[in-house]
């Protein structure tokens, strides 16, 4: 895989998070923000954003609905609150796929969503977002299905505003999110885009344990 030069991309997710935090600071003044990360890859990015903005950090769990034969293709996504978002651009891929197969995938991902919510928060209550400025963070936007589900799920919780924050994203996905979120801050919108991981020198899979560790660190930072 071709990796970016330092001037075009990011070293790792923490480096990307620091760049995103500066972009968010330059974008507007924040009065009472909450940072929500999409696990797992969005958590290291969001940790840096929350640290710079002195904001609480929490997770918003969203799960991809992958094609039964090609799981890397996202048919859609589910999020907390019972939200399901299907990718309109992937409708053609549903030809020959039985509804029962798609429903089985959704049930499986709902179980995984519940599992992750339980282990990530470690018995801590979710951070209240009603009436507050919410920044939803991921490590990048490819199809944008996961983030669209996240934004629609958040609307049910009554935030004052929703800002999507990502280090890198595909132009069409960024534009699509602008119609759903109140604002979108994306540090890099490269052409051609290809894949999120191409814009990181280091892009390992984020583990559940890393997510738990960073959330615990963020909680300790806010309590001091």
Q: pLDDT digits over 2-45, tens only?
A: 454 445 689 999 999 999 999 999 999 999 999 999 999 999 99
Per-residue pLDDT, 68 = 81
Q: What is the pLDDT of residues 73-125, one digit of tens each?
A: 778 888 887 778 777 655 555 556 778 888 899 999 999 998 888 899 887 88
Residue 100 lies in a domain: no
Residue 200 is classified by DSSP as B
Q: With contact defined as beta carbons under 8 Å apart, do 200 and 13 qualify? A: yes
Q: What is the 3-state secondary structure (H, E, C) of 67-93?
A: CCCCCCCEEEEEECCCEEEECHHHHHH
Q: Which domain holds residue 127?
A: 13-61+122-223
Which pTM does this prediction carry? 0.86
* 195 inside domain: yes
CA 147 centroid distance within chain: 6
pLDDT more than 70, % of the chain: 91
Residue 53: inside a domain, yes or no? yes
pLDDT number for residue 182:
97
SS3 for 179? coil
| More confident site: 53 or 2 | 53
pLDDT at 94: 55
Domains in the chain, number: 1
Supply angle C-alpha 59, 64, 66, rounded to 5: 165
207 or 114: which carries more pLDDT confidence?
Answer: 207
203: CATH? 3.40.50.2020
- Asked if residue 6 belongs to a domain, the reply is no
Domain membership of residue 76 (yes or no) is no
Q: Is 69 contained in some domain?
A: no
**Residue 104 belongs to some domain of the structure:** no
- Within a domain: 188: yes
- Which of 68, 70, 143 is CA-nearest to residue 99? 68
> For the residues 187-201, what does the mean pLDDT come to?
93
């Amino acid at each position: 895989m071709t990796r970016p030069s330092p001037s075009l991309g990011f070293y790792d997710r923490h480096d990307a998070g620091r760049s995103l935090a500066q972009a968010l600071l330059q974008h507007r003044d924040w009065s009472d923000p909450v940072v929500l990360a999409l696990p797992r890859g969005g958590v290291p990015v969001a940790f840096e954003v929350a640290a710079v903005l002195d904001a609480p950090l929490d997770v918003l769990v969203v799960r991809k609905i992958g094609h039964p034969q090609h799981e890397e293709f996202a048919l859609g996504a589910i999020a907390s609150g019972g939200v399901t978002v299907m990718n309109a651009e992937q409708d053609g891929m549903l030809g020959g796929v039985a509804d029962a197969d798609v429903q089985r995938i959704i049930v499986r991902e709902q179980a995984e969503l519940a599992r992750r919510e339980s282990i990530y928060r470690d018995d801590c209550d979710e951070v209240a977002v009603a009436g507050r400025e919410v920044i939803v963070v991921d490590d990048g936007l490819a199809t944008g299905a996961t983030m669209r589900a996240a934004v629609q799920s958040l609307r049910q919780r009554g935030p004052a505003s929703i800002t999507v924050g990502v280090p890198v994203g595909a132009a069409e996905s960024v534009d699509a999110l602008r119609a759903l979120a109140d604002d979108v801050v994306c540090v890099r919108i490269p052409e051609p885009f290809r894949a999120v991981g191409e814009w990181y020198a280091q892009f390992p899979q984020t583990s559940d344990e890393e997510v738990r560790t960073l959330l615990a660190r963020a909680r300790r930072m806010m309590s001091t």
